[in-house]
């Protein structure tokens, strides 16, 4: 008596094509999900870096403005400059003398610092000079604070709670006493407005000491 042979049935071509199609669909779905996760993570990291840069810029502005002192200087040409000046008419949007310049290495220098903020080609820079009264051509040291900046504006709260677009405010007198007064006169507060390409306008009001 012969034993019947067991027939082994394989996959048909149609079944293989269906299996490959299902696998391809699942692979595409998995890839899209992974790509979205990676894209979201990169976007969150970029926003976090951007937020940290904006916060640091606001913090530096706050520190410098709120520690402004009425100490005028002489520039590289020996001309007297006010303790604080700026606005749309100034070459640098904001320039001031501040106190509280840290000196951890106990260097032979003052604790006062002359700083300026300059917008150049969409980038906001903080400049400072190692001395107050320069007495000669001396290039400032620059630190990049923020990029993608469309506008950087300031205005000043003066006496009588009146806003000034430029500081020192214009006067009718050109006498020496008036010039000396303007050199040490400070506003009550400074309003700073940053217009960013991605976040729009950000405004902050910083009061000055006293």
Q: SS3 letters for the chain? A: CCCCCCCCCCCCHHHHHHHHHHHHHHHHHHHHHHHHHHHHHHHHHHHHHHHHHHHHHHHHHHHHHHCECCCCEECCCCCEECCEEEECCCCCCEEEEECCCCCCCCCCCCCCEEEEEEEECCEEEEEEECCCCCCCCCCCEEEEEECCEEEEEEEEECHHHCEECEECCCCCCCCHHHHHHHHHCCCCEEEEEEEECCCEEEEEEEECCC
pLDDT of residue 109: 66
Structural domains in the chain, CATH included, are 59-207 (3.10.610.10)
Per-residue pLDDT of the chain (210 residues; tens, 9 = 90+): 555 555 556 667 777 777 787 878 888 888 777 777 777 777 788 889 999 999 999 999 999 999 999 999 998 888 899 999 999 888 899 999 999 777 666 666 678 999 999 999 999 999 999 889 887 777 899 999 999 999 999 999 998 889 999 999 877 555 444 444 445 589 999 999 999 999 999 999 999 986
pTM: 0.75
């Amino acid at each position: 008596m012969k034993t019947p042979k067991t027939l082994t049935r394989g996959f048909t071509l149609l079944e293989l094509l269906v299996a490959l199609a299902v696998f391809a669909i699942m692979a595409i779905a998995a890839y899209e999900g992974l790509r979205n996760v990676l894209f979201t993570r990169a976007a969150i990291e970029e926003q976090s870096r951007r937020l940290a840069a904006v916060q640091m810029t606001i913090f530096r502005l706050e520190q410098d403005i709120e520690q402004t002192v009425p100490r005028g200087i002489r520039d590289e040409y020996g001309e007297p400059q006010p303790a604080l000046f700026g606005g749309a008419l100034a070459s640098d949007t904001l320039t001031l003398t501040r106190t509280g310049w840290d000196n951890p290495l106990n260097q032979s220098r003052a604790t006062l610092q002359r700083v300026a903020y300059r917008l150049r080609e969409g980038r906001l820079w903080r400049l400072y000079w190692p001395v107050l009264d320069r007495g000669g051509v001396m290039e400032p040291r620059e630190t990049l604070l923020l990029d993608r900046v469309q506008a950087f504006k300031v205005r000043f709260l003066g006496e009588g709670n009146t806003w000034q677009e430029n500081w020192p405010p214009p006067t009718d007198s050109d006498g020496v006493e008036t010039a000396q007064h303007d050199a040490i006169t400070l506003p009550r507060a400074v309003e700073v407005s940053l217009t960013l390409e991605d976040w729009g306008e950000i405004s902050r009001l910083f009061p000055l000491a006293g």
